[in-house]
């Protein structure tokens, strides 16, 4: 949503709700506003009739100058892509590690089968499971 549109909607909601406020609250708000406006420092007028604030904005190139609080495009792009790249690299690293662990587990099973006293054909025999159960008891 556009920020200006959002601000306009908030302003409209606040203005519509002020009509329903009691008179005493409205008077207190007006006094508070007047006090706040009285505390705002008045901008110094430079020779030529331009205020100091307007001169500073004009000197820095208007809204796109250093007074603009938005970070540059490169910073916004880097702050978006860098975490994404880190997540992708992490997932890739986990996948590689998991694959190497699977290979090591398979190698351990193969080594155990090849170094065992029982021939490999015995593992394919249907009665081998019964033989294992009987020898364990």
pLDDT at res. 33: 83
Domain with 16, as residue range(s), is 1-40
Do 15 and 46 reside in the same domain of the chain?
A: no
Question: How is residue 109 written in tokens?
Answer: 């099973």
- Percentage, residues of the chain above pLDDT 70: 80
- The residue count for the chain: 137
Do 105 and 87 reside in the same domain of the chain?
A: yes
Phi/psi of residue 72, each to 5°?
A: -70, 170
Domains contained in the chain, number: 3
Do 27 and 52 reside in the same domain of the chain?
A: no
Question: How is residue 119 written in tokens?
Answer: 């021939």
Q: What is the pLDDT of residues 34-88, one digit of tens each?
A: 888 888 887 766 666 555 555 555 555 445 555 567 888 889 899 999 999 999 9
Do 92 and 33 reside in the same domain of the chain?
A: no
Q: Which of 21-25, 36-40, 100-104, 122-126 has the highest mean pLDDT?
A: 100-104
Do 61 and 105 reside in the same domain of the chain?
A: no
pLDDT at res. 56: 52
Do 81 and 137 reside in the same domain of the chain?
A: yes
Per the DSSP assignment, residues forming a β-bridge with 51 are: 45
Do 137 and 78 reside in the same domain of the chain?
A: yes
Do 121 and 81 reside in the same domain of the chain?
A: yes
């Amino acid at each position: 949503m556009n920020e200006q549109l959002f601000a306009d909607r908030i302003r409209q909601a606040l203005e519509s709700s002020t009509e329903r406020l009691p008179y005493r609250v409205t008077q207190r708000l007006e006094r508070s506003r007047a006090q706040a406006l009285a505390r705002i420092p008045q901008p110094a007028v430079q020779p030529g009739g331009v205020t100091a604030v307007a001169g500073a904005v004009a000197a820095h190139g208007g809204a796109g100058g250093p007074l603009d609080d938005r970070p540059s495009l490169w910073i916004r792009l880097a702050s978006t892509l860098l975490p994404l790249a880190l997540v992708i690299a992490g997932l890739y690293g986990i996948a590689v590690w998991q694959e190497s662990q699977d290979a090591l587990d398979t190698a351990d099973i193969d080594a155990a089968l090849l170094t065992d006293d029982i021939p490999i054909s015995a593992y394919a025999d249907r009665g081998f499971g019964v033989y294992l159960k009987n020898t364990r008891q």
